[in-house]
Amino acid sequence: ELQAINSFLPWVQISEMAADQWARNLGIQVDVVELERTLFINRARDNEHQMAVWTNNGSSILYLFPRHAIPVDPTEAFMGPAFAQWFVSGGERGIEPTDPNLLRIYDLFNSLSGATEEERNAAVQEIWRILVDQQYGIGTVGQSSALMGVRVVSNDLANVPDRACIAQHCRTPGGMHPEQFFYTNPERREG
């Protein structure tokens, strides 16, 4: 069973397309189930799901927003909520992973705090190598502008930064301070 919601993107329809391809090309039967968002999150958090579809936003900078790539946050650890509970509780709750690769990822992730930039980059690169080799999750399109949007600015809009961070950790579009944008054309200001 593949659980999905229709929030942010048409995840249910995307999941149905994937399920159709898996059936035709791999012989794998998947039932796509649409859930309301709160129920979806609660079931995933409580480990009451087989598969779940969600965005991968933020994982481009793994040490800032890792929860969509590795199970470190019990609220959105779709690839192992019980492992995430074990990780954040220091082993007091949840289930300790037996996979040495996942344990290595946890060791590397714990090493990021206080590491130099060079050490941090090396650790994150090793984490990504393990994730690619082990395939704990199935990525489809990466960091899509469909979710976080694209930056298009009218010539009449002023005080807009020349560059913008379009990513989860930037809290798009808040980092651009849109409250300070204004129209240079007086007719546009009125309305």
The residue among 103, 49, 121, 122 whose CA lies nearest residue 79 is 49
Number of domains observed in the structure of the chain? 2
On whether residue 142 sits in a domain, the answer given is no
Q: Is there a single domain that holds both residue 103 and residue 170?
A: no
Q: Is there a single domain that holds both residue 27 and residue 112?
A: yes
Which residue, of 134, 160, 179, is where some domain finishes?
134
User: N- to C-terminal Cα distance for the chain?
Assistant: 49
Which residue, of 134, 165, 181, is where some domain finishes?
134
| Residue 22 DSSP SS3 | helix
The distance from CA 55 to its chain's CA centroid, rounded to whole angstroms, is 5
Q: Can you give the residue range of the structural domain that contains 83?
A: 2-134
On whether residue 143 sits in a domain, the answer given is no
Q: Is there a single domain that holds both residue 51 and residue 116?
A: yes
Q: Is there a single domain that holds both residue 159 and residue 78?
A: no
pLDDT of the chain, 191 residues: tens digit per residue:
999 998 878 899 999 999 999 999 999 999 999 999 999 999 988 999 999 988 877 777 787 888 888 999 988 888 899 999 999 999 999 999 999 999 999 999 999 999 999 999 999 999 999 999 998 888 766 666 666 667 788 889 999 998 887 777 777 788 889 999 999 987 876 65
Q: Is there a single domain that holds both residue 64 and residue 35?
A: yes
